[in-house]
Chains A and B, each alone.
Chain A
């Protein structure tokens, strides 16, 4: 496998980074980087970390990080997690308020501890902390419960002062969304599986309305909706399927949709195959709505969606 750290890979232009991922020869990983500059979204680092642990330590090769910004990759802990020695020396400042380095989470209790420790580190207001905690919890819990990923979830986050935003990336190398959804549904493609996974009330655990005792099939819909209400990017990539929630036009009245393809979005079903799932979200802190207001809007859409699904299934009697 080959993966290249480009000079720019954020959610807005992530597609081109993903197109460059070479998933052949899965027993080796070669990491290369732009010589001049490396500026990447946390989801890129989370993906590389997750990928690196699927191959034997000796089979991961990382070219020299010559770019001045190469220290960012080191400070976020990528080389450490992949057990690659670094030639870059630096003074490590306290990360509090600026970033959360790459973290591997494998169990439910590890996640709870991580969230408890993460919130104060972010130095954000209480309402914003709720939103961030919510997103991290639901995304990582999906990995723990459904991904069957040997190495669990990898995540990291970065605060961007200029845009006053926090960007979060989570990746795993588990079974992927299609395998999980198809336990109870019939998605023909990875993209169709992503569409179903984002639809409220659809879970791979059952076809029954209301889900199971432990799963309702609402987590990803909530996250997409939070991003939508806050007018932020949200990306999900699994298998060869890719869905990106685009920022809605600031002049248009916001409408939450049950069908993710009803939102302003881009999608692809021909990207290099990612064995697992990766998700990225941007949270612009100035735009973060009060959490309860967010939930009220999401609740209304959820109820409408369930009613529509029920109505769609209704069959009238046939009188001959």
Chain B
């Protein structure tokens, strides 16, 4: 399943309520159906950490960091990539996974 973020957030992804809706209505049901989820950020120039946190942090709690094998991020700007890296890192740090020497994706 591919989710077009721009369609839901516009060029600046900052609305956490929208992020939660995407997570609850789109991402989690797709993962429950054992589908791969592609979050397509084409057209999204920037996102807040709060938005990305609301979008994906709970996935780590529900599915562990193995969820990263099932959720991928497409067409991210450098700014969006940085935010995603930060959230992914601190969620895994919180799970006790050392991200210091993590391989580059």
- Cβ-defined contact, B20 with A210, below 8 A: no
* Chain A proximity of B6: nearest CB distance (Å): 13
Q: Is the CB of B86 closer than 8 A to any CB of chain A?
A: yes
Chain A residues, CB < 8 A from B12: 115-116, 119, 130, 133, 137
> How far is it, in angstroms, between the C-alpha of A111 and the C-alpha of B10 when the chains are bound?
13
**Nearest B residue (CB) for A126:** B45
Residues 267 to 320 of chain A near chain B (Cβ within 8 Å)? 291-292, 295-296, 298-299, 302-303, 306-307, 310
**Nearest A residue (CB) for B93:** A306
Q: Is the CB of A101 closer than 8 A to any CB of chain B?
A: no
Chain A residues, CB < 8 A from B54: 213-214
> How far is it, in angstroms, between the C-alpha of A218 and the C-alpha of B51 when the chains are bound?
11
Chain A residues, CB < 8 A from B79: 130, 291-292, 295
- Cβ-defined contact, B60 with A210, below 8 A: yes
Query: Do A211 and B57 contact each other (CB < 8 Å), given the known contacts A222-B49, A303-B89?
Result: yes
**Nearest A residue (CB) for B77:** A292
Chain B residues, CB < 8 A from A115: 12, 14
A-B contact pairs, 27 of them (CB 8 A): A108-B17, A115-B12, A119-B12, A130-B46, A130-B79, A133-B12, A133-B14, A141-B48, A209-B94, A210-B91, A210-B94, A211-B57, A213-B61, A215-B50, A218-B49, A218-B50, A218-B53, A218-B90, A222-B49, A291-B46, A295-B79, A296-B82, A298-B86, A306-B90, A306-B93, A306-B94, A307-B93
- Cβ-defined contact, A137 with B14, below 8 A: yes
Residues 190 to 211 of chain A near chain B (Cβ within 8 Å)? 201, 208-211
Residues 93 to 144 of chain A near chain B (Cβ within 8 Å)? 108-109, 111-112, 115-116, 119, 126, 130, 133-134, 137-138, 141
Chain B residues, CB < 8 A from A306: 90, 93-94
Q: Is the CB of B85 closer than 8 A to any CB of chain A?
A: yes
> How far is it, in angstroms, between the C-alpha of A115 and the C-alpha of B14 when the chains are bound?
9
